Amino acid sequence: MKRLEERPEIYLATTARMLVAEGMFEAAKLLKSAEISVDETGFDNWNGGTRIWTIYLNIEPETYAQLGSEREVIQEQIEKRLKPIVEQFTDDWFSVVLAPKTSIEPEWREQQDQISAVTRRNIIDGLKIDQIQWNGRLDDVEFLARIFDLEAMPSHDGRFETASRDIWQHRINNFDWDDDWIYGDRRFNLISGPSDTFLRFLCEVVHPVVRPDRNETLKLVSQFNDQLRREGWELVEVEKIAGRPRFEPRQIRHSGGRSVSRARTVADALDASWMHKEIERVENAIETDPALAIGTAKDLVESCCKSILERRNITPPKSADLPKLTKMVTTELRLVPDGISDQAKGAETIKLILRNLSALTQYLAELRGLYGSGHGRDGKYRGLQPRHARLAVGTAVAFIDFITATYRKQTDGED
């Protein structure tokens, strides 16, 4: 086991290849990016003495926190594949533990809700790739004056006292600065300055006065939000000006985060990679498109049911709807109320819960039909709100979490 302590990559590189081969890409990605340390954490006197080792995979704190309850699944996936590799060389025991990296960052006490430089660069790079003129139909001075007090900011040109005159000279009069000069100018510090300044800059980029083309604005906002949501922010419409949307930044409160985290755990437990796309769609749509979230929650239940049935070598009819699928799964997993003895404590309550388990998915299908995505609406249609989407998603996740846990328990028992 000394070799594992000194050169763990010998074993872990093979583990990563096995994870990729089995489609466990998230576990493989984390393993490859982790800082690895191996500590002897115990000793057992049985059978002449067995050393106990812990392999720590240290990952970024943000990544560790976002994994939530998925950490246990990923640890299990890595450990299960590492075991047959290590057992070729030693009888020692070991375990795999994901842990956050520890470091002291300068001024960490002052850092609150900061948008990372990586996310800012991604957004700016996107603007450059698509050749989007950040100031739209305004000139540089007009645009920046909406955010900054240019008369109070210094000039880089010794002939002028203020940033306003400096920018006018080089962008309007001489036009000898390139179009993207703003991103590298330290006076505005868009990459490492305050987050609220950067967010305000983005809101002005898509302001109706700056960019009156509604379709272009909505496309840019979608691209911005794809990056910002990773940092817990998004741009949301707050009003209309001349029929065009005006946006402001809003911090995301992940009230649906726990449900989404549980859904990811289910997907990993079933090795159902196709469920991850539906989970990501749900997560992004809860606040911004409740109808899509409701429709996708129903699809998530269908995917889970089909995955479990497939693992039990059962092929449902192509015409099977959601209630039919859930009935097949609950029957296969012996979740029918008749399986509970009347003498069991709380038997009647348990029976009621199980009777309603399948009914939940029926209600979800009906809700999707009434308000979910995929259906045309008339001009009087009024959609549901995010709280309704969270209810639908929470219902879906409660169902798939329970049936998956039951499936795994039965499978482990059979093995």
> What was the pLDDT predicted at 139?
95
Q: Which residue has the tokens 């020692």?
A: 92
In angstroms, rounded to a whole number, what is the distance separating the alpha carbons of residues 381 and 370?
11
The predicted-structure confidence for 210-244, as pLDDT tens digits, reads as follows 999 999 999 999 899 889 988 888 898 888 899 89
Nearest to 17 by CA among 78, 76, 105: 78
- The radius of gyration computed from the CA coordinates of the chain, to the nearest angstrom, equals 27
- Evaluate whether 401 touches 297 at the Cβ level (below 8 Å): no
Question: How far is 363 from 14, CA to CA, in rounded Å?
Answer: 46
| Pairwise pLDDT comparison (302 vs 150), residue with the higher score | 150
Q: Which range (87-101, 162-176, 182-196) has the least confidence?
A: 87-101
Contact 97, 76 (CB under 8 A): no
| 147 contacts: CB under 8 Å, gap ≥ 6 | 197, 200, 201, 204
Half-sphere CA count of 114, side-chain side, radius 13 A: 15
| Cβ pair 60, 99 in contact under 8 A | no
Which amino acid belongs to residue 141?
Answer: V
Q: How far apart are CA 58 and CA 35, in angstroms?
A: 5
C-alpha distance from residue 273 to each of 11, 134, 313 (Å): 25, 38, 19
pLDDT at 133: 95
pLDDT per residue as tens digits for the range 328-353 = 888 888 775 555 555 555 556 766 77
Instruction: Find the helix or strand (DSSP H, E) in which 57 lies.
Output: strand 50-59
CB atoms within 10 A of CB 361: 25
Give strand ranges (E) for 150-229.
none
DSSP classification of residue 43: E
Domains of the chain: 2-100 (3.30.70), 110-251 (no CATH), 257-414 (1.20.120)
- Look up residue 124 and give its two tokens: 């700016």
Which range has highest mean pLDDT (116-125, 249-258, 343-352)? Answer: 116-125
pTM of the model: 0.44
Span 5-63, pLDDT tens digits = 666 778 889 999 998 888 888 888 888 888 888 888 777 776 667 778 888 899 888 78
pLDDT, residue 149, reads 93
303 by DSSP, 3-state: which?
helix
Per mean pLDDT, which range of 69-73, 356-360, 404-408 is the poorest?
Answer: 356-360
| Best CA proximity match to 301, nearest among 325, 337, 277 | 325
Give alpha helix (H) positions in 178-321. Answer: 195-205, 214-228, 257-269, 273-288, 290-311
List the structure tokens of 165.
Answer: 């005159």
Beta strands 93-100 and 233-241 are unpaired
Distance CA 222, CA 235 (A): 9
Helices 70-86 and 9-21 cross at an angle (nearest 10°) of 120
pLDDT band (50, 70, 90) for residue 255: very low
